[in-house]
Structure formats: structure tokens, C-alpha cells
Structure 1
């Protein structure tokens, strides 16, 4: 993600833009939808596991109760086809859920919350519908309206997004109707139950829609707070905390790809004099214009512009060798001067200028160490007259992050 997209000069971040655009269709724009899906999976994986375990216990409990209610022990193995059907539906469901739980446990961090929830709800629905129909066909006591709970369960917070929940709930309704028409004679099919099943689907869907809409809004609000915590409010660039977090990601990626990472540290020349001469409001506007110029150099996805504090800025350049780092630094100085921001109290130029120190990150080097080396070179550029660059010419031990 580029500096412009994540910490860009715009005062409104991508989460705020998405919130302003609305979420009526329960879908975010671009990569944010995938980010939301990953967040859902992380948040709901444990509830999905708990739900699957509960479903397993539920089926086992009713499977055991079958032996008492029917009674099966006294009749075993001379059971009717319907009795064998009830037992088969119970224990096939038990084995299926055990297999799902085992796969989910073995694959650990993989995205398994949604498939596990689908498996649990469908297993309960099919097993329950078969058992109820066979109980009813044999004029035994049954809890037919418990099937309504399976439709409602599709909209539980178990790792499913709304469009998946509505598809699952519709599938449960279709399966229930199909099994009733297959297993029950016409005189035992209650139209009242069919209407209740459809009404349960409609009301559960409305509740599920509202729940996900509220959850998505909370996701965006948390994102806005995080952006604000990592962004400088004056310039819209990353702040020091944002640099520390993003730099570690950049280092890891560069290590995998075996490419160098450059770091430029900039300081606005004689900025205290500028504030004294033109006032703090003009100083803030000058910093914003310098920040916009700096942000324009962070063109690639893993480049990053940052305001370190006061009049000091940093620029991280991915896949940038010594020569390229020097060229970028030498281009940045005249670009800032070319903004033509009047600076009557500067000793070196009639306009605002910057001094720059640059280094390549060394293997396993911390951000503090790299910034300290860049700061020493920045001091050297100031000592030599300001409005100039001082870039380290020593290559890193290896092309790294």
C-alpha cells in the first residue's frame, strides 16, 4: 500500500472515505473488502469452533435420547427402516462434524470460520429435518419448530457475512421443504409450519443485515481511529509511530525479495526564523506544502513519507540503491526550493529550502539506528551550508530490508 493511499496528504483517510460513500450494499471498495473478510475470520474463528462443538453436543445428546424415547435398546437390531434412518442421520452428522473440527484444528491459522459455520448449520438442519419427519411419520413426539432455530442460526455471528448467511438460510429452508415433501405424506405437511419457516427467514435476514451493517461501521470507525493514531494531523503524512510500524513491514518484504531500502531524513532550513518572521499559521501552511512535495516522491506501493515532528521529515524508498537514493535526494532539494515559499530571513536562499541526509538500511538494523545514521549525515549537510544532500556511499553488507 502506498504512502499516498494509507498515509497520503489527503486529510480524509480511506476508512473515512468509505464511511462517507456508504455501506448500504454491505460491500466495501477495493482491498478493504478483503481486509474486512480477514478481520471477520480472525474475530469469529473461535465462536465458529464453539458453535460447531455445541452442534456436535446437540446431535449426540439427541442421538442418546433416541435410545430412551423409542426405545431402541429393547428392539435392537430389529428396527424399522425409519428408526434406522433416524440413527443414521444422527451419527453421520456426528462423524461429519468431527471431521470438520479436526480439519479446522489441523489447519490452524487458515481461513476456516465460515466453512465450519456452514457445515455446522447445514448438518444440524439436515439431521434435524430428517429426524423430525421420521418421528412425525411414526406418530412420535417431535419438536418441529426447533427447525426454525436452524434458519436463525445461519445469521449468528459465526464468521459468515450477510450474503453467505442469506444463501445458507435459504438453503436450509429449501432442504427442509424438500425433505418434508419427500418423507411426509400430504396430510402431515402443515402449511402453518411452512409459513412460519418463511417468516423466520425474512425476519432473521433483516436482523442479520442490520447486525452486519453495524459491524461494518464499527470496523470503519476502528480503522479511522487507527489512521488518526498513525498520521500527522497537520500534513496527513505518517507520524513517527506510523513510520515505526510500516518500516518493519517494509524491512520484512525487502528481506524476502533481497532488495535495498533507502532512508532520507529532511529538515527545513532556518524554520524557527520562518515562524518568527511569518507566524505559526504561515509556518503550518509551509510545512503542508513541503509535505505534499515529499509525498509526491513516495510513488511506489512500499514507499513512505513521514513527518517526524516539527520541521523534520523522513522518506522511505523501497528497492532503492545508493545511486538511486542520491538521485532522489538531489531531485528533492530543488523541488522544495521550486515551491517558491518566501523566506526572507534565510541565510542561503530567498525561498524555503531543505537539507537532507540519506542512508541504506543495514541487515537487522533497527529503525532507531538507521535514523541516527541519517541524522548524522543530515547534520553534515547543514554544516556544509544547508540546502544540500549528504548521502552515505557505503553499500549495505547485503541487499536487505
Structure 2
């Protein structure tokens, strides 16, 4: 039979698979996980956004050069000036949107200004297409939808923006282009434009498919990294923080307390006669007991930023942010009573005949390091054990 730790890992893997099944490219994770994914994706594509903006600006300059070349080769015509004005207006809006995105690298700003930039890009290119279509049709010069194909590809370039919203914009651009061409084409629809529209549709489908695959891969990568990070930070048996995470979080909590001129409290908990329990009932029963004790710590009412950890074996810790003395005492006593009276795990090798815990706690002071605070709490725990176990000692 699998051990408790193996079962916990298996359950964790099943949960990850379930999250992926509800979070592929056209659907979302649950709200909090989706927000975490958006932040991860947006940060991952920071450099890509910079490169994309540079290429976009270079493309605009190339289009301006094309307009000037057309003006030089064809001569005076009613097309070039309106086209260049449209391009200039779109360029100004895109540059401002790019400035906001690069200056404020938070998700909210990106999700506000990226669609504005892409929308102006699509609308500007569509207007240019219609102007060229009308003018060159009168001069009986050929013109296709290559520019709109490029826009559809740009819309689906992965830059950390929502694939769903990119898909909406791509479909809207395709429909608006087809409708505008149908309304502005005079006489019979030339086969050239029908062919160009078919190519534009294929380009949209290809770009959307590539974007879908990229989005799905990014979501898989996000879950994989998140689950690996969770496995590295938590104890496999109890799902509390492990010793490595405890050391990092305690250091951070102590630094914040010193900076804010507050204090933290460190509670050390050790199960009484646990080795004798393991020897008498067996390690599977010991693992189950540890999980139930961890459940008490995990479910115990805690304020924001408080955290619990398993330090190893039968030893646990709980860190409280800025508690007063009464709150610290009541928390320790509440945990001790729940383990002894509510769980009441049979332990015939313990004088109390049930599983009990000894707790020691200490407040931080301005000169503390993590080592000094840990030492005082550990000494308080030692006194609790020396004074008869199943009790609380506050330093």
C-alpha cells in the first residue's frame, strides 16, 4: 500500500491535473489561480514585449517609406496624404500605449493599454486598406490584404496578454475587414479580393492556432513550476511549510517586525513520547497522527501572514505576527487542548493515555536574530517537557 506521503503527492498531482483541465487556453483557472497565472505570464513575456514594440515601430517606418515610394512612383494622387495621416494617428496612440506598458510593468496596466494599442493598430490598418482599395481600384492598380494578414499575426504574438481577448480582437478584425470590403467594392466582387479574403481567413486561423498552442504550453509550464515550487516549500506528509521555508519566512517576518517596530511570536510544539507511539502503533499510525496534528495547526484561526511549519519528526512551529501576551497564551492553550481533548488520539505509552503536546513560545525583540529567537522558544519548549509535558511555557 502507498504511504501517507505518497498519497499526499498523488493527491497533489491529481489536483494539478484537474486545474489544467479547467484552465486550457480558452478557459480560465479558478479566480485566484487565474490572477496568479496572468501575473506569471505577463512577467515571463517582459522582454518579448520590448522586442515586439521595437519591431512594430520599425514596421510603421517601413510602411511610411512604402507610402512615399508609391507617391514617388505613381505621382500626385489622393491616397498618400490620408493614408499617412491615419498611420500617424495610429502611431501616436500606439507609442503612448507602449510607453504606459513599459513604464508600469504591472498586469493591470498591460491589460488596459495592450488592447488599446492592438485595437488602434487593427483599425488604422483597416482604414488604410479601405483608402488604398478605393483609390487604387479607380486607378486600376492591384492591391491585396497583405497588411491585414500581418496585423492578424501581430494580434496573436505572445506578449503576456490574454489569448481569449486576442482571439476576440482577431475575429472582430476579420469580420470588419470582410464587411468593409463588401460594402466598398463597386460592381461585381473581383476574384482578387475574394482570394485575398480567403488568405486572410487562413492567416487568422493559423495565427490563432499557434497562439492557442503557445497559451496552452504556458499554462502547463505555470502549473508545473507552481507545483514544483509548492513541493519544494511544503512538507510532503503534512502539507505545512517545511524547514527550509520556515527558515526563510521566519527571517522575513523578523525583518519586517524590526522595520515596522512590532514583534512576532515563535511557538515551538513537540509531541510527547512520540517515539514510543511509533514503536508501539507503527509508523503508518505515526504518519496519520502527524497529519491530524498538522490539521489542527492548519485549521486553527490565524491572522493574515501567520504561518505554521513542520520542522522535522514530531516538531512543529507556528509564527504569529504582532500578537499581545494574552493572544499568544490563548493560542498555545487552544492548540494544546485541541490535541489532547478533541483529537484524543489513543497513546497508551503516554501517562495521559492520549496524544499530548508540549509548547514553548517566545516574543522577538529589537536585537533578535532568527537563531536567538529560535533558541529562546526552544528553551521554553524544553522547560515545558521538563515540567511534566502537556503544558505551555512562555519565555
Shift of 1:203: 4.5
Q: 1:335 aligns with which of 334, 338, 349?
A: 338
Q: 1:93 aligns with which of 66, 77, 90?
A: 90
Shift of 1:381: 1.5
Aligned to 1:215: 218
Cα deviation per residue 1:18-37 (whole Å; 9 max; x = unaligned)?
42763355211131111111
Q: 1:285 aligns with which of 280, 283, 288?
A: 288
Aligned to 1:148: 149
For residues 218 and 185 of structure 1, the distance between their equivalents in structure 2, rounded to whole angstroms, comes to 51
Q: Is the 8 A contact 1:254 1:261 kept in 2?
A: yes
Aligned to 2:162: 161
Q: Is the 8 A contact 2:71 2:77 kept in 1?
A: no
Taking a change above 3 Å as real, the CA distance of residues 250 and 171 of structure 1, as seen in their structure-2 partners, is: farther
**Structure 2 residue 100 is the aligned partner of structure 1 residue 103:** yes
Cα deviation per residue 1:303-331 (whole Å; 9 max; x = unaligned)?
32210111110112345311111111122
For residues 124 and 367 of structure 2, the distance between their equivalents in structure 1, rounded to whole angstroms, comes to 56
Q: Is the 8 A contact 2:38 2:107 kept in 1?
A: no
Aligned to 2:19: 19
Cα deviation per residue 1:185-236 (whole Å; 9 max; x = unaligned)?
3456623333433344345434433432332222122211111111111112
Q: Is the 8 A contact 1:333 1:388 kept in 2?
A: yes
Aligned to 1:58: 59
The alignment's C-alpha RMSD in Å is 3.4
Taking a change above 3 Å as real, the CA distance of residues 113 and 50 of structure 1, as seen in their structure-2 partners, is: farther
Shift of 1:56: 1.0
Please identify, of 349-358 and 331-340, the stretch whose mean Cα deviation from structure 2 is larger: 331-340
Q: Is the 8 A contact 2:309 2:317 kept in 1?
A: yes
TM normalised by structure 2 equals 0.82
> What 5-or-longer segments of structure 2 have no aligned partner?
1-7
Taking a change above 3 Å as real, the CA distance of residues 379 and 273 of structure 1, as seen in their structure-2 partners, is: same
Shift of 1:261: 3.6
Cα deviation per residue 1:82-103 (whole Å; 9 max; x = unaligned)?
2211221232333333222333
Q: Is the 8 A contact 1:44 1:113 kept in 2?
A: no
Shift of 1:373: 2.2
For residues 286 and 225 of structure 1, the distance between their equivalents in structure 2, rounded to whole angstroms, comes to 26
For residues 312 and 209 of structure 1, the distance between their equivalents in structure 2, rounded to whole angstroms, comes to 47
5 Å-filtered alignment, 1:145-294, equals 145-177=146-178, 179-180=180-181, 184-187=185-188, 190-247=193-250, 261-294=264-297
Taking a change above 3 Å as real, the CA distance of residues 15 and 259 of structure 1, as seen in their structure-2 partners, is: farther
Aligned to 2:5: none
Taking a change above 3 Å as real, the CA distance of residues 351 and 306 of structure 1, as seen in their structure-2 partners, is: same
For residues 20 and 98 of structure 1, the distance between their equivalents in structure 2, rounded to whole angstroms, comes to 36
Cα deviation per residue 1:258-306 (whole Å; 9 max; x = unaligned)?
8654321111123233333333333222222222222232444433221
Q: 2:77 aligns with which of 70, 77, 80?
A: 80
Aligned to 2:310: 307
Which SS does the other structure have where 1:214 is aligned? helix
Q: Is the 8 A contact 2:98 2:117 kept in 1?
A: no
Q: Is the 8 A contact 2:49 2:159 kept in 1?
A: yes
**Structure 2 residue 131 is the aligned partner of structure 1 residue 134:** yes
Taking a change above 3 Å as real, the CA distance of residues 211 and 261 of structure 1, as seen in their structure-2 partners, is: same
Number of equivalenced pairs: 380
TM normalised by structure 1 equals 0.81
For residues 91 and 188 of structure 1, the distance between their equivalents in structure 2, rounded to whole angstroms, comes to 31
For residues 47 and 367 of structure 2, the distance between their equivalents in structure 1, rounded to whole angstroms, comes to 35
Which SS does the other structure have where 2:241 is aligned? coil
Shift of 1:13: 8.2
